[in-house]
Homo-oligomer: A and B are copies of this chain.
Amino acid sequence: MNKYITSLQIFVCAIFITLSANAQEHPSLILTKSGVEKIRAELGNVPLFDASLEKLKQQVDAEIALGIDTPIPKDYSGGYTHVRHKRNMYVMQQAGALYQILDDEKYAKYVKDMLLQYEEMYKTLPLHPKTRSYARGKLFWQCLNDSNWLVYVSQAYDCIYNYLSKAERKKLENNLFRPFADHISVDSPQFYQRVHNHSTWGNAAVGMIGLVMNDKELIDRALYGIPGLEMDKSAKDDDGGFINKEGKAGFLANIEEPFSPDGYYNEGPYYQRYAMYPFLIFAEGLHNVKPELKIFEYKDGVLLKSINALLNLSDADGDFFPLNDGQKGMSYYTDALVSAVDISYYYGSQDPGLLSIAAKQNKVLLDDSGLAVALGVKNGKATPFNKKSINLSDGPEGKQGGVGILRSENLELVFKYASQGSSHGHYDKLSYSFYNNGNEVLQDYGLARFVNIEQKGGGNYLKENKTWAKQTIAHNTLVQNEKSHYQGKYDIGSKYHPDLYLFDDSNASVQIVSAKETNAYPETEMHRTMAIIKDDSFENPFMLDILKVDADSTNQYDLPFYFLGQVIKTNFEYEVPNTLETLGNDNGYQHLWSEGCGSTTEENTKISWLDKGKFYTLTSTISKDDELRFVRIGANDPKFNLRREAGFIIRRKDTQNTMFVSITESHGSYSPVTESAINSNSNIKELKVILDNVDYTAISITTVNDITKVFIIANNNASKKATHTLNINDKNYEWSGSYYFK
């Protein structure tokens, strides 16, 4: 806390010094006068920049040809007025940049005319008629979208500032920008005065228009929040999140709080992507207008670190892992990441790996940073951006769990032991998802929402997001007694987080992540260790999963595996019912059809499936009383909001302490063109727990060719320096470090 106040104090001083300076030149916010000169000088010589410019010009010219429309607001997301105002904000920002770069007045005039229309409308505009939001905007149904608008429009205003007469500027500032900034801040504190991605947009909007208007009050309000405002610490927003429990607010607090020192954003990559644009574009503005603030060095350079973290939170195709409320398919091809990559390159250390992503994006910002990137690509400096295994701590000080990503060949394991993740968090402690070459093998469901598709609940969160997507059973993690972690309650979840036990990617052949969680269920400790192991006796690396449960009472445990694809083979018998019933009544179970149930007297269950031309086999240790259940998502889904995807659940009843061990193999391939099935069978003959006590867990893996490997983990000593000696079945094992594999 001391450290935080100290940074703030330094900033306060800096701001005072700066604001006493004289009126600034324009543009100065994102484009700068000198930057524009450089850009103009290079025009026609830098293919990526020229192409981005040309594409934008075509789009803006087409919009100008259509004429200006600033309709009276009435719709939710996806409806006409929403879409039109959103489009207007982009086009104004783009036209502003084109005016500067191409020096063609038609773009300035277009922005001016539109702004004056907005001014005319806004000065008498009431709250947006749609009432669903906890903080209604005026142009849009929520302040969030109004803030988006102002972030873009500030840039447009800066670009045409000198084109406007003083009287026009005064009119716009008095009737549009200032009241607009007030509405999303002082008039909407439940939106503005908090640590949340919504507020970051609000802060950036207020701050950016403040920078253009050279308005100290707005800039201060942006950086530190509304002065002297006391918030109700128990109030919650639409998503069930606390509005402001800690009393923190403002842009700097929004950097301090949600980002861990590693740059992980506590709501996860989907929301980080959404928040990155205001973080970075406002930072760029601050850097340009107030370079003495050294905003890119704030909190040990966390803004730039966060971009690296975010890029590492994407799969082989560049799609972000859908942690928490993440919509699948969002990727680093989104415009926010064009900004992020360009700004990271230019204001960071000119990492040539970023250039290869920029080249894939095939688009750059039309500013100094975009020019630098386009020049880098032109000059052949790009190198591949190699994503590696990475552990990203969560929490402002990196002490609230985290996300561990293990990468080996085409495989990616995303192990989530993070904190609640604000109001967008899921009750999914120690869950994971598993990818092969950018395709989901064992999926995280993501959210239940069709963002901006109006027909689906106005494009907003659907009720199945709470009743299904957030629930524990929707994730690849343990459910005790059919209840979600932390009772499925946000305020309980927000108090706790799992703790890292071990992350070790130092040996590329045996990479391991392990964490413990003691608060999700009463008097229960879950300790999950996951490893990706590359071994010569297997075609591909395989994933080992050891979940050790210690509880004070007997419980029912469900461990789901949400595999994608078609079941090819099981080694156990099961019955399929004649009518489908739900697996349970609440906590997400009401959304699962029970498609089959079996059991086995074998020591291992095996289930193989085929997806996108690859075979997979899950081999699990099992007891004869375990129920082996097939489920299908989609029960109690009256609007067809859920995807009808499969799951396999190991259910263990009346059990106190226990252990779930499994291996997921990726093997072979199938092509419908050659119709040949290659290596379609598992390579594992036996998976066995050969020792399990308080101190050690040992697993043996025997292949079909009778090669046996042993994996041992020390359960309470993760030191890399510790030495261990252990006798199992008359064989001595000696090693140093936290695990053994041979």
Contacts and interface: CB of A to CB of B under 8 A. Distances in A.
Interface of A: 78, 83, 327-331, 333-335, 450-456, 459, 566-569, 575-576, 578-582, 593, 595-596, 608, 610, 630, 632, 634-640, 643-644, 646, 670-677, 680-681
15 contacts: A329-B671, A330-B672, A331-B673, A450-B566, A455-B568, A455-B680, A567-B639, A575-B638, A576-B637, A576-B638, A579-B580, A579-B581, A579-B582, A596-B640, A632-B634
A73 B359 CA distance: 53
Contact of A333 (B330, B673, B680): B673
Nearest to A87: B676
Contacts of A593: 580
B451 A675 contact: yes
Given A329-B671, A644-B644, 5 more contacts: A331-B672, A453-B680, A454-B677, A580-B593, A632-B644
A640 B566 contact: yes
Nearest to A573: B638
A675 B447 CA distance: 14
Contacts of A681: 455
A116 to B, nearest CB: 27
A582 B579 CA distance: 7
Contact of A608 (B455, B630, B634, B637): B455
Given A453-B610, A610-B453, A638-B576, A673 B334 contact: yes
B568 A675 contact: no
Contacts of A610: 450, 453
Contacts of A580: 579-580, 593, 635
Nearest to A568: B455
Contact of A672 (B327, B335, B608): B327
B674 A334 contact: yes
A335 B335 CA distance: 42
A726 B454 CA distance: 43
Given A454-B680, A566-B643, A567-B639, A672 B576 contact: no
A385 B125 CA distance: 58
Contact of A329 (B453, B673, B676): B673
Q: Which 5 pairs of residues, A with B, have the shortest CB-CB distance?
A: A329-B672, A567-B640, A580-B580, A455-B569, A453-B677
Nearest to A274: B675
A467 to B, nearest CB: 14
Contacts of A575: 638
Nearest to A451: B675
A102 B455 CA distance: 65
Contact of A452 (B455, B576, B677): B677
B579 A676 contact: no
A579 B576 contact: no
Contact of A568 (B330, B453, B646, B671): B453
B454 A330 contact: no
A700 B226 CA distance: 61
A452 B675 contact: yes
Contacts of A635: 580
Contacts of A334: 673-674
A683 to B, nearest CB: 15
Nearest to A593: B580
Contacts of A78: 677, 680
Contacts of A672: 327-331, 451
Contacts of A639: 567
A69 B581 CA distance: 52
A334 B578 CA distance: 40
Nearest to A607: B640
Contacts of A680: 78, 453-455
Nearest to A86: B676
Contacts of A454: 677, 680
A451 B569 CA distance: 15
Among A327, A454, A580, A593: residue with most chain B CB under 10 A:
A580
Contacts of A335: 674
A515 to B, nearest CB: 30
A580 B643 CA distance: 16
Contacts of A568: 450, 453, 455-456
Contacts of A333: 673
A704 to B, nearest CB: 13
A132 to B, nearest CB: 18
A677 B459 contact: yes
B676 A83 contact: yes
Interface centre among A459, A578, A582, A675 (most CB of B within 10 A): A675
